């Protein structure tokens, strides 16, 4: 089943790159740089112009690479979710939980990862069939939040986004997350048209993850 495969790849990859380009071209080039650096789970934020087009291009570009999964981020409503799925998105991410988006994603067997900050929000999302909870914003709740949630809800799959960096990434995984979302830290040092720093930053995160996992 495609949904199970996608969920498995997200966990195996461990890192999800959040792509926010200033143009369609920049969204594509940022994604290419991240994949070159070894991060193969890509979340194209719908703040990127022509985000559906970016997803379509990337899906075609990496159709022969089974390790690459392309998802949609900053999905705020059912219409956007539908557009992203039509474009080929393997998964859908929202900053907050939306029941209509959850139902649509379930209908098409596409993993939905909504942002949650409380036990109530997490329970509501789980009841709606959500497989992975995006802990957002991660820098507000901190990694101790993961341990506290895992007490009453040991079965929940959590992925923090926001505030995850090379220095604290190990702590998040030690607390029990299955993956982490990385955004602005991947573009540190980038200048217009030069994506080499993005490749280098991605390589550092992959190396750190391998170290954490003992590879």
What's 18's DSSP letter? E
Cα separation, 136 vs 142, whole angstroms: 10
Active site includes 215? no
Catalytic residue among 26, 32, 43, 208: 43
Closest alpha carbon to 176 in 208, 120, 136, 135: 135
What are the phi and psi torsion angles at 47 (to 5°)? -80, -10
Distance linking the first and last C-alpha atoms of the chain: 28
**103 within 8 A of 128, measured Cβ to Cβ:** yes
57: Cα within 13 Å, side-chain hemisphere: 15
Closest alpha carbon to 46 in 67, 16, 14, 77: 77
Catalytic residue among 2, 50, 60, 134: 134
For the chain, the C-alpha Rg in angstroms (whole number) is 16
**74 within 8 A of 94, measured Cβ to Cβ:** yes
Residue with tokens 């999800």: 16
Residue with tokens 């199970």: 4
Active site residue ranges: 43, 134
């Amino acid at each position: 089943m495609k949904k199970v495969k996608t969920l498995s790849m997200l966990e195996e990859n461990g890192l999800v790159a959040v792509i926010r380009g200033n143009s369609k071209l920049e969204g594509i080039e940022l994604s290419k740089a991240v994949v070159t650096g070894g991060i193969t789970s890509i979340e194209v934020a719908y703040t990127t112009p022509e985000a559906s087009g970016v997803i379509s291009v990337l899906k075609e570009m990496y159709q022969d690479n089974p390790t690459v999964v392309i998802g949609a981020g900053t999905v705020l409503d059912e219409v956007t979710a539908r557009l992203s799925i039509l474009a080929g998105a393997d998964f859908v991410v929202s900053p907050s939980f939306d029941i209509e988006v959850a139902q649509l994603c379930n209908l098409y067997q596409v993993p939905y990862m909504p942002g949650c900050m409380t036990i109530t929000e997490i329970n509501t999302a789980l009841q709606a069939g959500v497989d992975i909870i995006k802990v957002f914003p991660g820098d507000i709740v901190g990694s101790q939040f993961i341990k506290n949630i895992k007490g009453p809800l040991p079965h929940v799959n959590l992925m923090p986004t926001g505030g995850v960096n090379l220095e604290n990434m190990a702590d998040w995984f030690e607390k029990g997350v299955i993956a982490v979302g990385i955004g602005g830290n991947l573009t540190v040092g980038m200048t217009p048209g030069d994506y080499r720093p993005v490749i280098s930053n991605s390589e550092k995160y992959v190396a750190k993850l391998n170290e954490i996992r003992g590879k």
